Structures are given as C-alpha cells and as structure tokens.
Structure 1
Amino acid sequence: MHRRDFLTATGLALGGGMVPAFLGRAIAAQDLQSTIDVSLKKRLADAALNAATSAGASYCDVRVGRYLRQFVITREKNVENVVNTESTGVGIRVIASGAWGFAATNDLSPDAVAAAARQATAIAKANARTQTAPVQLAPVKGVGEVSWKTPIVKNSMAVPIKDKADLLLSVNAAATAAGADFVNSILFLVNEQKYFASTDGSYIDQDVHRIWAPMTITAIDKASGKFRTREGLSSPMGMGFEYLDGAASGKFVSPNGVVNYGLSYDMKEDAIAAAKQARAKLTAPSVKPGKYDLVLDPSHTWLTIHESVGHPTELDRVLGYEANYAGTSFATLDKRQARFQYGSPEVTIVADKLQPGSLGAVGYDDEGVKTKRWDIIRDGKLVDFQAIRDQAHILGKTASDGCCYADSWSNVQFQRMANISLLPGKKKLSVANMIAGVENGIYIVGDGSFSIDQQRYNAQFGGQLFYEIKNGKITQQIEDVAYQIRTPEFWNACSAVCDESDYRLGGSFFDGKGQPAQSSAVSHGSSTARFDGINVINTARTLG
C-alpha cells in the first residue's frame, strides 16, 4: 500500500468511524501501554512446539504477537477521529513430511494453541502429497532466551492524546496562517510486541516502535478554482515520540531553502513551508519536456530505490514465485552470476536491517534469524539478492539474510524487503556544490506518483517540488514534472552522490506484497544524487 492509498483508506474509513479489518479491535488508550507477561508467552510457545513435534512435525516456529496502533486524525480546526486498536494472537508454522503448514488462533490458552499446532501439522502433511521437493531450511543456531527493543527515548503510546491533538491542531493553524486553504494532519503510531520461539532453541522477545506524521497542505486560486497540494516531507521512522518533540537537530537546508529532516522533525516548520510552496505551485511555470540532469533529494530518491532496486532484488520475485504488486523481476539469477552492471561505479546499494531509526530495524526476523547488513549492488555491479531460510540454498548460501516477516500473528511469514539504501559518496560533496556543476537540470524534492512495469524495468516518477537549474544556479520553481527511466540505464546515469553529511532516510509504512496481501514497513536511505541525461515529460492536463 502506497502512502496515498493509506491516506485515502484512513481518511474515509477512520474519518467515518470505521476501523479497517487489518487494524484489529478498538481498545482504550491506556491499554496501549500494557504488555503480555513473557512467561505466559513462553508457556504458549512451548505448548505449540510440543504439540507440533508430537504430531509429527520436524520443525516448528511460533509467533505470539500483540500489534498496537493509534491514529490521531485532524483537519483544520477539528479532530476528526482518534482510534486505538489491538490485534493479539498466535501463529504457528511447521514442516511435516517435507512441506509447510500454518495455522493461527486468537485464543491465548495452551489448549487452543496446541490445537492450532496440530492443525498446522495436518495441513503440512496434506500439502506434502502435492509437493515435488522437500523444504530445505538453512541452519539457524538457537539463541536461547533473548530480547530486543527499538531504542526509543519516549514511548509514543504514553503521550496523552490531548498533547498529540494539540500538536496537530497547532500545525494546521500555522499552515492556515501561512496561506493554506485546507490542511489534513495525522499521527500514526505503532507498537509491535513480537515473541518468537522455535524447535531450533530460540525464545526471542521483541518490542518494536514506529512513528509517522503525514500531512497534506492545499492552496486554492479562488478565481480559477485551480488548486495545488504539497505533502509533508517527514519520513516514517523506527523511533519514539522524540522524533516530533525534540530539537530539530539533523535537519538539512537545501540551496533552494527547502528544509529536509533527519532524525528529528519540526512538523510546524514544515507545514508553514508547505503552505507557501503549495501556493507558489499555482503560478509556477510548466516544465518544458526534454533531457535534463536530475538532482534528486533523498526525500524523493527513496521511492525510486524502493521500486527499481528493492523489489526486483527480492529473490521470490527473481524466481517468479511472487508476482503480486507489479510483478516479478528483470534481474534474473544469471545477472548475479555475471555481475551485471546495474549502475555506475558511484552506485553501491546495501540491504540493512540494523540501521538505527529505520523502519526495518529489528534484532531478529520472523524466522529467528539475527539481522545483518549485506551488499546488493557494489560499485555498480549486482552482487546479491534478498533470501530467507528456505531460499538460501538456491543462491548457494549457507544462511538466511534475515528478511522474513509477517504483518500479523494471523498471517504466515514470507520474504520481505529489507531496508535498501544507496550509500553516500566517498568524496566530500555538498548539495550546493553538486548543483553548481549542473548546466541544465531539475532539482526534485519529495515523492509523488509513479508507475512501473511488471519486470521493474520501465518506470515513471513524479515528485512534490521541482526547481529549475540553469548554469549551476536554481532559478525558479516549476511544475508538472515526471521523469522516465529504464532501470539499468537510469542507475548507470548516476554521476555523483553527495557525502554522508547529507544522508537521510525515507520510507513506506505500508509496502504491499503477497496474496492475500500483507503490508510491511521499510526505509530507504541516500544522500542527494545526480543522474545525467534523463528524459523528462510534462504531466499537465488541459481541460476543455
């Protein structure tokens, strides 16, 4: 699910007082701070492990999950809705007779969990009758009883709802005073309490926190009825409420005056800028189609990385096992073997499940594999994919990459994208110096609409803000910009990446995959990057 899909769903469903099914049941706000005793989770896990092995399973893993979410939704002077939800239950996955089986229950009693484990084992045995080869699991050494927590400073769930609503309403008021006609602002907070146990000997308790503060600012030309919007430049983060109430450290001011944010977000400051920029869009000239050198801000590049590198290097797409949400992949196995020239030597892209502040940062994945960082593209060459335990042998690997997840206790875990990021350039290079070297270009800030083909090869990307570059200087704000790419040609056109002082995260709270669909949270980092000779089209539509 892309950000706009989420805003549409929550704006309609939550604004109307309905809670989408994936969110779980409504609870009181104070219950968002409670936990399940770890000893109870271990008893439930042991009940499942014992029942599954007694029924004939050669392997079993158990996930006791408690998923908590809070929405605070506002528009102009009004709080539209506050929603607190909980979803709790147990998911059990087994291998029996060489095949997978899965079952789940929301009954947190040992008898019910044991019954679900036996059901999962029966399903696996039934599946085995049509399976052509047994499941091959890469080995995992059990870690015993361990725990991991997102290193937050302030638990978002413990902040009073009034304080959250006051923050959003002050943001709306500031945007209105700066020239906005309409303002929507939302806080979306997540706490996933995840307990994993397996017959490998692991009992892993994890407490994961995420935060997102999206907003949409609209400016209207009342004479013509024309309107323009600018969405917030915040990123969803794997952090606590310190992301919003701390000093705005780690922010970046671009040569055109646009503020971009790192590990702290001044929502009010961004809202004021957004109101002015949305109004400026109303009179900004339309882009002239043609070839341009593009300077892409990290608030924009994350989505291009996500779609043209993240998804096509998921091994299940490469193998054709997965084709939902825009297909398989042009990056076939032979391209890894041949060290395919995916990009220029400036391009090194890593998968990273460890990065502090990122959405995907956890200690262990949903197969009990300790997370890590590894190269996907090194100096422009494709060197690896993303693989989980039952895929590792296909690549000749002896271990999983630790990127197997489910979005709920009630869904089976499968291969999901790690944080995929473009590493900063090795030479000192600021955004101002990068722009100074561009004769005819466009500076793009923020993500926009996009489309991509079924092999992740041909694509088109828009953005939030566009600035013309002439002879090394930003001249004016422009509109109606989208650029077209063929994935390897685009990444081979990367001529420079700014240094680590400009590095920032973007990301998606709702990356959709699978059938039935599951959503996952993933970050993508980069510094500002330059791409030469990219085809730009004009997206303006004339009515009449």
Structure 2
Amino acid sequence: MKRRDFMQLAGLGTGAIMLPTSMWGKEIPVEALMDPGLDVASKKKLADVALNTAKSLGATYADTRIGRYLNQYVFTREDKVQNVVNTESFGMGIRVIAQGTWGFASTNDVSPEGIKKATEQAVAIAKANSKIQKEPVVLAPVDSYGEVSWKTPIRKDFKDVPVSEKVDLLLKANSAAMENGASFVNSALFMVNEQKYFASTEGSYIDQDVHRIWPTFGVTAIDQSKGKFKSRQALSAPMGMGYEYMDGLASEKIAGPGDLQFYRYSYDIVEDAIAAAKQAKEMLTAKSVDPGKYTMVLDPNHLGLTIHESVGHPLELDRVLGYEANYAGTSFATLDKWKSKDFEYGSKLVNIVADKTQPHSLGAVGYDDEGVKTKKWDLIRNGVLVNYEAIRDQVHMLDQKESHGCCYAQSWNDVQFQRMPNVSLEAGKEKCSVNDMIKDVEKGIYIAGRGSYSIDQQRYNFQFGGTVFYEIRDGKIGEMLNDVAYQSNTQEFWNSCTKICDKDDYRMFGSFFDGKGQPSQVSAVSHGCSTTRFDNVNVINTGRNI
C-alpha cells in the first residue's frame, strides 16, 4: 500500500480489509483482546529452543522474535457504524547467520516442534545463500542485556475502554461536523498493541509492550448550486500513547493563527471536526492562489511529511547504498557528500536528529528488533550532513562501531531490516511564536496539515500540498487560499530555512504505515518540529493548467 493513499482508507467502511496482511491477523472477539497471552518464562523457554537448535546446526549467531499483535479498528460514517474489527496475529520469527550469511524463517506453530522445524529451515536457507554471498555478514557488537522489559508509558489501555465509548465519540464528532456545515463525514480510530519478545545467542531476553493510536476523519462540504466540493482531513497525529490521547485536555492545546487549534499530547476530535466543517465550507469560496515566490510558514503537522520524505528516507543507509533502488529509488545524499564533512544539507538553523527514545512518538521503543538499546543521534547538525540511519550489519560501512538501533519488522513472520527512526527538526533556541515569525512577512502563505505530494526517485526534487492554506500579508494572517503547492529540491529548500519557533510550539506528525522493502513492510514513525519559515519558495496553482 502506498503511503500517500492511506488517508483515503478512513473514508471506507470496508477499509480494514485493505490493511497490510501482517497488520491484520485473524479476527477475534473483542473480549479476546484481554487475554494476557504467554508469560515471560514461557517465552524464554520457547526462545531457547530456537537459539539452541540454531547453534547445534552450525549457526554462529541467532535471534528470535515471539510476537503477538493486537489491533482494533473502528470505522463510522455520518450517523452509522460501518465496521469494528478486532484482530490478533501470533507467531515466531527466527533469524540466523550460518557460513557468514543470513537466513530467516517463521512459524505460527509456537511449540518446541514447530520452532525446531522453522529454525532448521532458517539455517538451511542461510547455508544455501552462502553459495552466492560475496562477503560475510559483519555485525557491530551489542551489549548483552540479560532479562529486561520495556513498555510504552500509557495511562489508559485501549483494550480497557468499551467499544461503545469509542463508537459514541466518533459519532459525536460526525454529528458535530454535520451540524456545522459538513455534507459528508467519516471517521476512524486505529489502535495497535505489539507484544514482542526478543532473544539472541548474545544473551539478551527482551520483553516489550508497545502501544499506538490514531484517530482520524474526513469532512466534505458541497456547494450544489455550483457543483463544487471541498474536503478537510483531521489535524490529528498518530501517537505512541494509550487511549488517554483522546481526552482532549485543554492544557495540551496550542492556538494557531486565525481559528486554527492544534494538539500536542491529547486530541479533541469533536472540536477538530467542528473546525473542519467550517473550514471546508470556507474553502468553497476561498480564492485561488497566484503562482510565484512566497515566504512559506509551515506548521508541524505539515512539515513532518516534508521531513519524512526529504530527510528521513534519503538518509536510510540501505537506500544510499542502492539496496532500495526497486522501491521508490535511491538517494541523492551519497557517501561522498557525508565524507566531505561540509555538505550543506540546509541552513545553519537546521538541526535534525534521529531519536528512537522520543516520548509519545510512534517509533519509541526501548530496544530495536536486533536487541539494540535505542538512542538519539545527529543526522544534520548546523545544516551539515553528519550521519545516516544504519543497523548492525551496516555501520561498519560507515567505519562506525555501534548500531543506531533502528531495525524493525512489521510482524513476527517478516524479517527485520533497517527502517526509518523518528526523524525530527529541533526547535529554535530563541523565543519565537508563530506571530513573531510572520510579523515581517510581506507576501507569504501559511500551511497546516498534509496533502498530496510527489518526490523523485533520489528524494531530491519535490512538490508538496497541504490541508488548509492562509495568505500572509504585511505580517498578518489573511484570507484562506485554495490550490496551493510548493516546489523545490531538498538542498535548496532546507537552505531557505530562516526561522524556527521555539519548543513551546513543538509538535509531532506521524505515519502508521510507512512502506519499504520487497516484500513490502510497513512501520510507524513520527517526526517532530516547531512551525518553521522558508523564504523565497516557488508556489504553483494546482487548479490551473500551467
């Protein structure tokens, strides 16, 4: 599934059947979500079957992941429930190195016999692969952590909240949107719990309990007399949190320009739906943008996607090396640019970090799927490219001795590989609000929320739209605009960055379903930033033939 297509799923009552197979599992009764599953002692015994079998067959390294993936999806439209889906997927994946080469196999028969058979298959695959492997796998060292655990710090487990309460909330949001001018509205709530147990021949036994949540909706307003319609998507962000994200606490809200309202670590879906209906109606009569050069002021919910595509993906080391050439291309950020130590990826204000420990983010875990303790590291510092995203069998190519801890598999039956960590733009160090940022802008555009986008195979030339657009004139937010998209290339764009709001404006954007690899896998990732200004950016009118 393409990342850009996923937002459309929220409008489909049967959308759940389009989700990635490994995210689906088997449908189960809602009460089965409360089953505690295997205890840690049982998982350790089963993991040792795989590890001991692998070593007895000549593997020099082995790791195993026992995974239980619980999902609940709720879909509504106007005053109706379209679907409620509860699923479970359970099994084990075994990865080995034998004769210097990787092998992988998986099984949903999580018994000693089933595990032994799958491990034998993994070792056999590795030995077969070794016949064509040119260089042996080189793993960066990793600490042995013994028996440890990590859990997303949640206050309210979605499994403890009745489905009726979730349905009532979505229908309340739908009703509020309809009462404020929406012609159509759909809403959805996605909730995920990954229960993962990792063990390796290096002595780590790691139990993790990961939670994610994503509320979203789409509102459409129609002018029947003119045969026109406009839509506005939710300004929510998927988060690594429990159901407390839906509490909508006032202290967590951030006022935007005009009547825009943003949310940091809680979300008021009803309030956002009301605003969406009003803004969709306003879009019906908003003027179309005049193409030209503008100062762009981009809110975090919008800029997060630009960070994802123009920084997150091109700095994946396997993409840089050409391993990902068959899936959305390679990268312009080649090793020679990094080795020069002076490649100006952006202006001196641009400091971008990778951080798998970022609280409330989608990518936050204690340990990655190779048993590496997660961390934060620089990708771009003072505008200069300083590092990439790499895992245990890659970092030696950078002459580095420690994995970055960003290995992930979407399920127990998929092999883990290098994935994008949370990639975020640091907030500005000087006090700066959105009003401070725009007070000297003579001709600009403010964009909130994500829209359609396009970027080339090397993640260099791109075009981005958005959800809502406002004109900036003489230092003030003005009228709403339509048909806005900006075009640039990655280096030119980030070098045009001239101001970044401070930490008080910092928020996250996220993607539940970032695709990569063949066979394709998805992962969840967040991108944090504050509202940011870019000068002299080319804006086109998407409603005209140019």
Whether TM-score is above 0.5 comes out as: yes
The change in CA–CA distance for 1:382 and 1:20 in structure 2 (over 3 A counts) is: closer
Give the counterpart of 1:393 among 384, 396, 406: 396
Offset of 1:474 from its aligned partner? 1.2
The change in CA–CA distance for 1:288 and 1:10 in structure 2 (over 3 A counts) is: closer
| Residue 476 of structure 1 pairs with residue 479 of structure 2 | yes
Tell me what 2:367 maps to.
364
8 Å contact kept, 2:4–2:453 = no
Tell me what 1:29 maps to.
30
The change in CA–CA distance for 1:504 and 1:15 in structure 2 (over 3 A counts) is: closer
The answer to which of 297-306 and 22-31 deviates more is 22-31
Offset of 1:13 from its aligned partner? 7.3
The answer to which of 31-40 and 220-229 deviates more is 31-40
Cα deviation digits, residues 487-526 of structure 1 (max 9, x gap): 0000000001000100000010000000110000000000
Tell me what 2:171 maps to.
169
Tell me what 1:414 maps to.
417
8 Å contact kept, 1:366–1:404 = yes
**Letter matched to residue 391 of structure 2:** I
Cα deviation digits, residues 246-280 of structure 1 (max 9, x gap): 52322111122200110010000000000000000
Tell me what 1:108 maps to.
110
8 Å contact kept, 1:350–1:376 = yes
**Letter matched to residue 6 of structure 2:** F
The change in CA–CA distance for 1:43 and 1:265 in structure 2 (over 3 A counts) is: same
**Letter matched to residue 499 of structure 2:** A
Provide the rounded CA distance (Å) in 1 between the counterparts of 2:17 and 2:390.
40
For residues 303-452 of structure 1, the aligned pairs below 5 Å read 303-339=305-341, 340-452=343-455
Tell me what 2:273 maps to.
271
Provide the rounded CA distance (Å) in 2 between the counterparts of 1:385 and 1:472.
38
The answer to which of 7-16 and 421-430 deviates more is 7-16
Tell me what 1:125 maps to.
127
Structure 2 length-normalised TM:
0.97
Provide the rounded CA distance (Å) in 2 between the counterparts of 1:295 and 1:488.
18
Provide the rounded CA distance (Å) in 1 between the counterparts of 2:204 and 2:10.
37
Provide the rounded CA distance (Å) in 1 between the counterparts of 2:67 and 2:318.
25
8 Å contact kept, 1:248–1:265 = no
Tell me what 1:153 maps to.
155
| Residue 506 of structure 1 pairs with residue 501 of structure 2 | no
**Letter matched to residue 481 of structure 2:** I
Give the counterpart of 1:224 among 222, 226, 231: 226
Provide the rounded CA distance (Å) in 1 between the counterparts of 2:15 and 2:236.
22
Cα deviation digits, residues 35-74 of structure 1 (max 9, x gap): 3211221111000001000011000000000111111100
For residues 526-537 of structure 1, the aligned pairs below 5 Å read 526-537=529-540
8 Å contact kept, 1:52–1:94 = yes
Provide the rounded CA distance (Å) in 1 between the counterparts of 2:450 and 2:10.
20
Tell me what 2:72 maps to.
70
Tell me what 2:297 maps to.
295
Provide the rounded CA distance (Å) in 2 between the counterparts of 1:419 and 1:536.
28
The change in CA–CA distance for 1:10 and 1:446 in structure 2 (over 3 A counts) is: closer
Give the secondary structure class of the aligned counterpart of 1:313: coil
Offset of 1:541 from its aligned partner? 4.9
Give the secondary structure class of the aligned counterpart of 2:181: coil
8 Å contact kept, 2:13–2:83 = no
Tell me what 1:91 maps to.
93
Provide the rounded CA distance (Å) in 2 between the counterparts of 1:442 and 1:15.
34
Offset of 1:33 from its aligned partner? 2.3
Offset of 1:323 from its aligned partner? 2.1
Provide the rounded CA distance (Å) in 2 between the counterparts of 1:185 and 1:268.
11
For residues 33-44 of structure 1, the aligned pairs below 5 Å read 33-35=34-36, 36-44=38-46
Provide the rounded CA distance (Å) in 2 between the counterparts of 1:291 and 1:112.
63
8 Å contact kept, 1:95–1:121 = yes
Provide the rounded CA distance (Å) in 2 between the counterparts of 1:20 and 1:98.
32
Unaligned ranges ≥5, structure 1: none
Give the secondary structure class of the aligned counterpart of 1:508: strand
Tell me what 1:14 maps to.
14
The answer to which of 464-473 and 18-27 deviates more is 18-27
Alignment size in residue pairs: 542
8 Å contact kept, 1:249–1:263 = no
Tell me what 2:467 maps to.
464
8 Å contact kept, 1:250–1:263 = yes
Provide the rounded CA distance (Å) in 2 between the counterparts of 1:149 and 1:297.
30
Tell me what 1:517 maps to.
520
Provide the rounded CA distance (Å) in 2 between the counterparts of 1:345 and 1:20.
40
**Letter matched to residue 14 of structure 2:** L
Provide the rounded CA distance (Å) in 2 between the counterparts of 1:424 and 1:478.
27
Provide the rounded CA distance (Å) in 1 between the counterparts of 2:136 and 2:16.
48
**Letter matched to residue 64 of structure 2:** V
Unaligned ranges ≥5, structure 2: none
8 Å contact kept, 1:147–1:206 = yes
Provide the rounded CA distance (Å) in 2 between the counterparts of 1:433 and 1:105.
57
Offset of 1:192 from its aligned partner? 0.2
Cα deviation digits, residues 387-418 of structure 1 (max 9, x gap): 10000100011010000000010000000000
**Letter matched to residue 156 of structure 2:** K
| Residue 492 of structure 1 pairs with residue 495 of structure 2 | yes
The change in CA–CA distance for 1:184 and 1:431 in structure 2 (over 3 A counts) is: same
Provide the rounded CA distance (Å) in 2 between the counterparts of 1:525 and 1:168.
26
Provide the rounded CA distance (Å) in 2 between the counterparts of 1:442 and 1:16.
36
Provide the rounded CA distance (Å) in 2 between the counterparts of 1:52 and 1:25.
29
8 Å contact kept, 1:512–1:519 = yes
**Letter matched to residue 202 of structure 1:** S
Provide the rounded CA distance (Å) in 2 between the counterparts of 1:431 and 1:62.
48
Give the secondary structure class of the aligned counterpart of 1:214: strand
Provide the rounded CA distance (Å) in 2 between the counterparts of 1:76 and 1:9.
16
Identity %: 65
Provide the rounded CA distance (Å) in 1 between the counterparts of 2:69 and 2:359.
21
Which structure 1 residue ranges, 4+ long, deviate > 6 Å from structure 2? 16-19
Provide the rounded CA distance (Å) in 1 between the counterparts of 2:2 and 2:170.
22
**Letter matched to residue 127 of structure 1:** N
**Aligned-CA RMSD value:** 1.3
| Residue 538 of structure 1 pairs with residue 541 of structure 2 | yes
The answer to which of 188-197 and 320-329 deviates more is 320-329
8 Å contact kept, 2:94–2:104 = yes
Give the secondary structure class of the aligned counterpart of 1:147: strand
Cα deviation digits, residues 321-346 of structure 1 (max 9, x gap): 11244211000011111121000001
Provide the rounded CA distance (Å) in 2 between the counterparts of 1:325 and 1:461.
20
Structure 1 length-normalised TM:
0.98
Give the counterpart of 1:455 among 454, 458, 466: 458
